[in-house]
Structure 1
Amino acid sequence: MKHCRLSFRTLGRHGFLAITTAFVIVPFIWMVSLSLKPPEEIFQASFSLLPQSWHATQNYIRAMTASPLPRFMLNGVFICAVIVVFQILICAPIAYALAKLRFPGRHVFFNLVLVSLLIPSQVLALPLFILAYQLGLLNTYAALVFPFVVSPLGIFLFRQFFNTISDDIVHAARLDGMSEFTIVWRIMLPMAVPALIAFSIFSVVGHWNDLFWPLIAVRSQELMPPPLGLMAFKNEDTGIDYGPLMAGSTIVVAPLVLVFLLAQRWFIEGLTSGGIK
């Protein structure tokens, strides 16, 4: 009876996971399917996952040539890389201070970090826009970078991982004459590679897919990241060209999927290690 109860519980858990997974994966499968179809099949009443007549070559060629998609993707790589570097440079020392140093108000600062995790980035868009305007940063790469150089999520993840590292290692490094900053970069961060990879994936995915802030921060096509560049397939007269749009979306999403598949072991380890201590 107990074995039967466990089996039903396991079956129910796996069924729930399968349903939620389907909700996540089905839109991506449908996106790829539409990228292979000609326009007349995209809006037909009957459902088919595979196209009756393949239109993949035309859609993907148009996605790469109708707009400067390679330039948009290079912009995305540059913007995400700069943001991640600045976030690590700023968040790692702050997380180390919250995890390993004792100073008045330490818990208050950490609680402020937790509260900031609850604030949607869109809430700060107006004051950030005004600040960027006053600094003359609008329509520049700097406008796409500076609002995100400090990440509450990065501080939280690094702090949780640093807490799992023994204080004896830190004390030994201090006895060897290392400064606190040297400890962060030469000891703590190399030991926190899983957390570093997990946070980098979160950061890159979030900013690679961000449309809201670039939409109001830049106007020049040369500066547009991939999501904003994909809007080039929207035409007020002829509507949206869905085949090339889905092809372009597939091209934009493919690098993220590949990076996650290659780094998923470190990604999962980085998320779970912070809960050990």
Structure 2
Amino acid sequence: MPFAWMISTSLKTLPETMIFPPEWIPRDPVWSNFAQAWNTGPFLQYAVNSLIVSVGILLLQMLTIIPAAYAFARCKFAGSRLLFGLVMVTLMIPSQLIFLPVYLELSAFGLLDTHLGLILPFASSAFGIFLLRQGFMQVPEELLEAARLDLASEWSIIARIMVPLAKPVLVTFALFSFIAHWNDYFWPLVMTTSETARTLPLGIAKIREVEGVATWNILMAGNLILVAPILLVFVVSQRQIIRAFVYNGVK
């Protein structure tokens, strides 16, 4: 219903958005609303920035959560339970609570208003480690022992056995991560001061500043531009998401 209402409003004239009771189907669809929303600022730059930040964060997270999850799931070492508990504790700390020390640290390194400054604070994910650890724990130990008998290294086991078997879980986490950081408004607002590093959510917020009034049709057109890539990613990966929540037998 919210998506349908967003699409409907994005194709209306401003007076049509004020009609009560509201009408679902626009009388004369106004496709120029999308062009008007796009031209309120450098939206192409915003979109490129969002893509760089979201994909950059996701790649770094994959590099950190996969070995961490494997270590917690399959390696026995002193203090593993304590360390995993500390990882889980970080899920309870909201980012707004720690943004000031992180901001000051990045400022000291000259990373304010840069893509790297938007990416580095999210280089790992406690939720990703937890989710992937649970997936790795479903893999039978016999498979790993057979690989070790064939003289496979731990990195080879991760790359050739664990990651392929946990692919649905990885795709699900990737979708969650991409959506969260594509839609993130708070951190880019804090970290950026120029158009060269700002992302799409800030661009959408700017529409109201440019127009000066509540032009809901233009705002909804901008929001539709914002969510379109997310919907596309979801459609492409929905089969893997379903598999992540269904028991997978090992052939």
Question: What TM-score comes out, normalization by structure 1 length?
Answer: 0.84
Name the structure 1 match of 2:201.
227
Aligned 8 A contact 1:161 1:273 in 2 = no
AA paired with 2:22? F
Q: CA deviation at 1:203?
A: 0.3
Distance 2:98 2:164 in 1: 33
Aligned 8 A contact 1:99 1:159 in 2 = yes
Name the structure 1 match of 2:27.
52
Name the structure 2 match of 1:28.
3
> What aligned pairs does 1:90-239 form with structure 2 within 5 A after superposition?
90-235=64-209, 238-239=212-213
Matched, 1:251 2:225: yes
**By percentage of residues, which structure has more helix?**
1
Distance 1:132 1:272 in 2: 41
Deviations 1:199-241 (A, max 9, x none): 0000000000000000000111121111111122122782243
Matched, 1:78 2:78: no
- Percent identical pairs in the alignment equals 38
Q: CA deviation at 1:70?
A: 2.4
Name the structure 2 match of 1:8.
none
> What aligned pairs does 1:238-277 form with structure 2 within 5 A after superposition?
238-273=212-247
Question: What TM-score comes out, normalization by structure 2 length?
Answer: 0.92
The answer to which of 200-209 and 122-131 deviates more is: 122-131
Deviations 1:97-142 (A, max 9, x none): 0000001111112222222222222222112111111111100001
AA paired with 1:172? A
Q: Which runs of 5+ in 2 are unaligned?
A: none
Distance 2:247 2:110 in 1: 42
Aligned 8 A contact 1:116 1:152 in 2 = yes
Distance 2:135 2:147 in 1: 18
Distance 1:237 1:224 in 2: 19
Name the structure 1 match of 2:15.
40
Distance 1:30 1:77 in 2: 26
Q: CA deviation at 1:85?
A: 0.7
SS of equivalent to 1:112:
helix
> How many residues end up aligned between the 2 structures?
248
Q: Compared with structure 1, are the counterparts of its residues 204 and 220 closer, same or farther at alpha carbon in structure 2 (3 Å cutoff)? A: same
AA paired with 1:262? V
Tell which has more relative contact order, 1 or 2 (C-alpha 8 A, sep 6+): 2
Deviations 1:163-195 (A, max 9, x none): 001112222222222222222222211221101
Aligned 8 A contact 1:37 1:243 in 2 = yes
Distance 2:28 2:39 in 1: 22
Aligned 8 A contact 2:52 2:115 in 1 = no
Distance 1:237 1:185 in 2: 51
Q: CA deviation at 1:93?
A: 0.2
Q: CA deviation at 1:42?
A: 1.4
The answer to which of 211-220 and 265-274 deviates more is: 265-274
Deviations 1:49-96 (A, max 9, x none): 1123322x1201112222222221222111111111110101100000
Please provide the CA RMSD for this pair.
Answer: 1.7
Distance 1:150 1:109 in 2: 15
Aligned 8 A contact 2:40 2:210 in 1 = no
Distance 2:139 2:230 in 1: 30
